[in-house]
Amino acid sequence: MMIKAYRFIKARDYLMRAVFMLCAAFSILALACICVFLFVSGIPFIGRIGFSNFFGTTWHVDSQAYGILSMIVTSLYLTALATFIGVTTGLLTAICLFRFCPKRLIPSIRQMVNLLAGIPSVIYGLFGLIIIVPFLRDYVSPNSIGFGLLAASLVVSIMILPTIVSVSLDALNAVPRSYYEGSLALGATSEQSVFKVVVPAARSGILAAVVLAIGRAIGETMAVIMVIGNSPVMPHGLFQSVRTMTANIALGAKELGGDAATALVSTGVVLFIFTLLLNISFNLLRGGEKREKKRTQKTDT
């Protein structure tokens, strides 16, 4: 009797272990499938149409020109500009929340910034299309075009704010309080202590926030399509219709077939490589941060 029950429990254990393994394997399988799909259909296509065609500047489906260089450049410009605006605002917000904000306002401000992360990207796109684009067109743009890099960067910079604020605030909070107090004891003002001591001490965490934000900015699609104009040309200014890699894929995915559809997959490969590099650098930064923490803990004791 006892042995029977024991066997049953053991069998159940094995079964559940198998179920858990299967669940874990599922996400790995999903990743593997996506990689295989992208590379198997994307890479040979680049080889077939030629490296110089694929990384050329002309995208014109009707004449079999699938150059995505202008879109790569646009994606990079957009990411750089959005990250610059977002990181400046976000980092200063985090510093404000860390030391200078009245204590009773902190929870509500944090909550509101986090709420930004929950808004669907299409709503950001709508906001950009209805508010930002007409505003830029009527009052800022020199050529009466509101669509373009600036509109998209503004929208995306708002979208990446919550990531930057929460990750860099965590990094600031993780700096031992003794740093700040020691700096005060040496005669520095509160502002000097925060900007010259605490922020540099939290730099790897802040860098991680920046990398995460870049990852989000380069992959943003829906909001960008609605405000960037989507013309596949090289960007020469802030108020000009241009197209990112993500927009190219989303615009064509439903409409195009044959070679053009494969060209979209190849665009996906390039995008995937960019995000992969970002992820790797994020992990390296995280690793660096951990090592640094260990070192400071050792010197503390």
Partner 1 sequence: MKISRIVTVMVLGLSLMLGLVACGGGGFDTSRNITVLAREDGSGTKSAFMDIIGLKDKPDPAGVIIQPSTAAINAEVRNNTTAIAYESLGFVADDVKKLSVDGVEPTVDNINSGSYQIARPLAVVYHESSLSDEVVKAFFDFMQSSEAQAIINEEGFVPVLSSASAYTVNGALSGTIDVSGSTSVQPLMIELAAAFEHLQPNVSVNVSGGGSGTGYNNAEEGVSDFGMVSEVFNSERAPSCTFTNIARDGIAVIVHKDNPLTSITMEQLRGIFDGEAGAAAITTWSSLITN
Looking up tokens 């704010």, which residue turns up?
Answer: 161
Query: Which one, 9 or 130, has the nearer CB to partner 1?
Result: 130
Helix, strand, or coil (residue 1): coil
Could you say which of 2, 4, 51, 63 contacts partner 1 (CB under 8 A)? 63
* 59-60 and 65-66 strand pairing: antiparallel
Which part of the chain contacts partner 1 (CB under 8 A), choosing from 25-33, 161-169, 180-188, 251-259?
251-259
Helix, strand, or coil (residue 67): coil
Q: Running DSSP on this structure, what letter comes out for residue 50? A: -
Alpha-carbon gap, residue 116 to 160, rounded angstroms: 9
Is 100 a residue that touches partner 1 (CB under 8 A)? Answer: yes
Could you say which of 77, 195, 269, 275 contacts partner 1 (CB under 8 A)? 195
Is 267 a residue that touches partner 1 (CB under 8 A)? Answer: no
Alpha-carbon gap, residue 168 to 203, rounded angstroms: 9
Alpha-carbon gap, residue 90 to 161, rounded angstroms: 5
- Nearest approach in angstroms of CB 129 to partner 1 is 7
Is 233 a residue that touches partner 1 (CB under 8 A)? Answer: yes
- Nearest approach in angstroms of CB 206 to partner 1 is 17
Is 300 a residue that touches partner 1 (CB under 8 A)? Answer: no
Is 230 a residue that touches partner 1 (CB under 8 A)? Answer: yes
| Nearest residue to 279 (alpha-carbon basis) of 220, 223, 201, 218 | 218
Q: Compute CA distances 128 → 89, 114, 125, 155, 183, whole Å.
A: 18, 20, 5, 6, 44
- Nearest approach in angstroms of CB 221 to partner 1 is 11
Query: Which one, 148 or 215, has the nearer CB to partner 1?
Result: 148
| Nearest residue to 166 (alpha-carbon basis) of 214, 105, 223, 109 | 109
Tokens representing residue 295 in the block: 């070192």
Helix, strand, or coil (residue 65): strand
Could you say which of 92, 112, 276, 280 contacts partner 1 (CB under 8 A)? 92
Query: Which one, 143 or 178, has the nearer CB to partner 1?
Result: 143
Is 188 a residue that touches partner 1 (CB under 8 A)? Answer: no
Is 235 a residue that touches partner 1 (CB under 8 A)? Answer: no
Which part of the chain contacts partner 1 (CB under 8 A), choosing from 1-9, 114-122, 227-235, 265-273?
227-235
Q: Running DSSP on this structure, what letter comes out for residue 239? A: S
Query: Other CB atoms closer than 10 Å to residue 258's CB: what's the count?
Result: 9
DSSP assignment of 205-225: HHHHHHHHHHHHHHH--HHHH
Is 249 a residue that touches partner 1 (CB under 8 A)? Answer: no
Could you say which of 2, 187, 257, 299 contacts partner 1 (CB under 8 A)? 257
Which part of the chain contacts partner 1 (CB under 8 A), choosing from 25-33, 168-176, 249-257, 272-280?
249-257
Which chain residues interact with partner 1 by CB under 8 A?
A: 60-63, 92, 100, 129-130, 134-135, 137-140, 143-147, 191, 195, 225-226, 229-231, 233, 240-241, 243, 250-252, 254-257, 260
